[in-house]
């Protein structure tokens, strides 16, 4: 029996018709999100619970219209990476030997991409700085170039290793790590586990690589997570005008709840349900933008706390403090609990 669930789109009838021809009754389509056609997910039935097989099955439908490779189960990362890497001279090296016991940063980039061409020389400086301090690190270029000549010309500008040019491999790795745009820098630990998919912003914020391998912090600065606000809910404390001691107390108040949320996400092998961030500097304009979005720009309070939930149709929630208006750990936990219980007043951005 085939069970299909989807959000209506103009192409749904033809898509379902095609899928009915492909699926032979053992699997079902878990969902089609409103984000894009390629968000189609295929789930395997397992005692009533769905286990995700592919997060990019929509693309697989397009590339495998006859369903010959259904259910499009992704290959293990080791198989996709292949056996060899290239050095700067173009010589093939054993990937296993070249990367043994090393943190690996996969650099998704392409010569035709202007942001990539700007970032590559900066990344090269960070690469040199890290290499000067430690040897358990390597970057490997994953080319999104349109042809092998472009790949070779671009790779000549890089001081690290590369995977051989292979468009199918590029697509497979992009799918594996859910790369949505380039340049992207994905950092893996020596066991192949993802440390961060946000190596680009981490390298830009830490050009000397002093904090490499850039493990995500439970609480970040608003500036470093600004690019994630469109995709993740975020609890933000705006404390630009607070004293240094007050900022230290706020950081301490956020630490335990943020670590608990991160631990829950790691246990479930998923992204944290919330980002935790503070805006401490009066120099940045991101805090100012958040204040305007949350209509807090006219407030004279030295500290404000807000949950931005842009993915939830542009919702936001403002902390309504009681008593001394101190952002304590208790205040943070109470705010979080009310958010999860949906008892906060919902405001709409825009």
Per domain, the residue ranges of the chain are: 12-74, 78-205, 219-348
Query: Which whole-number Å values give the CA distances from 343 to 131, 340, 346, in the listed order?
Result: 51, 8, 9
219-348 is classed CATH 3.40.30.10: yes
Identify the residue with better confidence: 53 or 297. 297
The contacts of residue 141 (CB under 8 Å, 6+ apart) are 107, 109, 155, 158, 160, 161, 162, 163
Query: Which whole-number Å values give the CA distances from 52 to 26, 40, 269, in the listed order?
Result: 14, 11, 12
28-79: pLDDT as tens digits? 444 434 444 444 544 443 434 455 666 666 666 777 788 887 777 778 899 9
d(CA 136, CA 308): 38
pLDDT band with cut points at 50, 70 and 90 for residue 261: very high
65-111: pLDDT as tens digits? 888 877 777 788 999 999 999 999 999 999 999 999 999 999 999 99
Residue 5: what pLDDT?
53
Architecture of domain 78-205: 3-Layer(aba) Sandwich (3.40)
- Per the prediction, the chain carries an average pLDDT of 84
Say whether pLDDT at 27 is over 50: no
Domains 78-205 and 219-348 share a fold: yes
From 124-128, 135-139, 301-305, 314-318, the region with the lowest mean pLDDT: 301-305
Residue 249: what pLDDT?
95
pLDDT band with cut points at 50, 70 and 90 for residue 324: low
pLDDT band with cut points at 50, 70 and 90 for residue 286: confident
Say whether pLDDT at 232 is over 60: yes
- Region 196-225 average pLDDT: 90
- Whole-model pTM: value is 0.69
Say whether pLDDT at 166 is over 90: yes
Residue 53: what pLDDT?
66
CB 171 within 8 A of CB 177: no
């Amino acid at each position: 029996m085939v069970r299909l669930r989807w959000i209506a789109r103009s192409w749904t009838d033809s898509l379902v018709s095609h899928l009915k021809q492909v699926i032979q009754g053992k699997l079902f389509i878990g969902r089609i999100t409103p984000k894009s056609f390629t968000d189609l997910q295929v789930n395997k039935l397992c005692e009533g619970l769905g286990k995700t097989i592919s997060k990019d099955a929509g693309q697989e439908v397009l590339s495998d219209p006859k369903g010959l490779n259904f259910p499009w189960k992704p290959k293990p990362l080791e198989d996709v990476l292949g056996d060899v890497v290239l050095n700067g001279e173009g010589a093939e090296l054993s990937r296993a030997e070249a990367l043994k016991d090393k943190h690996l940063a996969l650099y998704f980039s392409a010569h035709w991409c202007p942001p990539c061409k700007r970032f590559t020389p900066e990344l090269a400086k960070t690469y040199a700085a890290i290499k000067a301090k430690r040897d358990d690190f390597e970057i490997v270029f994953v080319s999104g170039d349109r042809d092998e000549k472009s790949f070779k010309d671009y790779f000549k500008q890089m001081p690290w290793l590369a995977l051989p040019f292979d468009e199918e491999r590029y697509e497979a790795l992009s799918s594996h790590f859910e790369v949505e745009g380039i340049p992207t820098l994905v950092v893996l630990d020596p066991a192949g586990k993802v440390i961060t998919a946000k190596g680009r912003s981490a390298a830009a914020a830490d050009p000397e690589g002093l904090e490499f391998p850039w493990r995500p912090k439970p609480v970040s600065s608003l500036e470093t997570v600004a690019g994630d606000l469109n995709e993740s809910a975020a609890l933000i404390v705006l404390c630009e005008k607070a004293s240094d001691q007050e900022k230290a107390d706020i950081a301490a108040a956020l630490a335990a709840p943020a670590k608990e949320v991160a631990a829950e996400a790691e246990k479930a092998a998923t992204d944290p349900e919330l980002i935790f961030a503070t805006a401490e500097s009066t120099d940045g304009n991101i805090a100012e933008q958040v204040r305007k979005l949350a209509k807090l720009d006219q407030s004279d309070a030295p500290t404000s706390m807000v949950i931005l939930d842009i993915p939830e149709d542009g919702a936001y929630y403002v902390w309504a403090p009681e008593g001394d208006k101190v952002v304590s750990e208790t205040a943070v936990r109470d705010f979080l609990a009310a958010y999860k219980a949906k008892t906060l007043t919902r405001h709409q951005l825009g």
